[in-house]
Amino acid sequence: MSDQPGPQTKKPFLYVVVCAAGIAGDVHELITAAQRANWDVGVVATPQGLGFIDAAAVEARTGYPIRSAWRAPGDPRPLPPPDAIAVAPATFNTINKWAAGISDTLAVGILCEAYGLGIPTAVLPHLNSAQAAHPAYRLSLDRLRGMGVMIGSYEPHSPEAGGGAGRFRWEEALELLTPRLSAQA
Ligand SMILES: Cc1cc2nc3c(=O)[nH]c(=O)nc-3n(C[C@H](O)[C@H](O)[C@H](O)COP(=O)(O)O)c2cc1C
């Protein structure tokens, strides 16, 4: 009997949107956890985020090219459409642009359209407390919550700490998305 996946066994497709946060180099943790949970995974990186990850290693792990820029008109779509999106890590910058509808990177463009398309989306912010203190940030989270986006529990690190790698739970993205997808099924 063939073990090739047929249309009836097609796995759900997860976009992992990676922003330019110091922790982004560990994104393989989320990719691996998602693949173990039976997702196919494609990565969309912000242009700045590309510099924070090992693109070749990510592409080898997912089997898909990383998307970062818009394709040329007429070019084929490099990734299948997503069944769900995890924005991890999500920067202060991308969160505020997404909430405001400023679609100036492919990553934010995909996120802005995901709302209208009804694609379940979870965001794991990774930022420091000085960034989080800006009034725009709370308003952005309130707006995204109102759009149905599920928001991770990371408590911003102190600006001097330089990151909170030990407290950032990559798998929380899957914990947030899975019940939403089960409810839709
Ligand atoms: C080493 C380094 C680490 C950074 N870590 C973060 C971070 O954890 N969170 C954040 O919001 N910005 C962080 N930044 C700032 C972002 O990279 C910067 O705001 C960038 O414009 C974000 O672009 P993007 O949102 O398009 O990915 C960091 C910058 C550097 C140089």
Residue 35 lies in a domain: yes
Q: 139 lies in which domain range?
A: 11-71+79-184
Q: Is residue 4 part of a domain?
A: no
- Provide the pLDDT for residue 114: 98
Given a cut of 70, the residues of the chain with pLDDT beneath it are 1-9, 185
Ligand 1 neighbours, Cβ below 6 Å, are: 19-22, 46, 48-49, 91-94, 105, 126-127, 131
Is position 65 within any domain? Answer: yes
57 domain-assigned: yes
Looking at the chain, the whole-number percentage of residues with pLDDT higher than 70 is 95
Q: What is the pLDDT of residues 156-177, one digit of tens each?
A: 999 988 787 889 999 999 999 9
What are the distances in angstroms from CA 75 to CA 15, 43, 55, 81, 117?
20, 18, 21, 15, 22
| Closest CA to ligand 1's atom 14 | 21
pTM, to two decimals: 0.94
Residue 90 in domain:
yes
Domain membership flag for residue 1:
no
Report how far ligand 1's centroid is from the alpha carbon of 49 (Å): 8
CATH of the domain at 19: 3.40.50.1950
What is the domain count for the chain? 1
Residue nearest to atom 16 of ligand 1 (CA): 20
Nearest CA to 119 among 84, 80, 90? 84
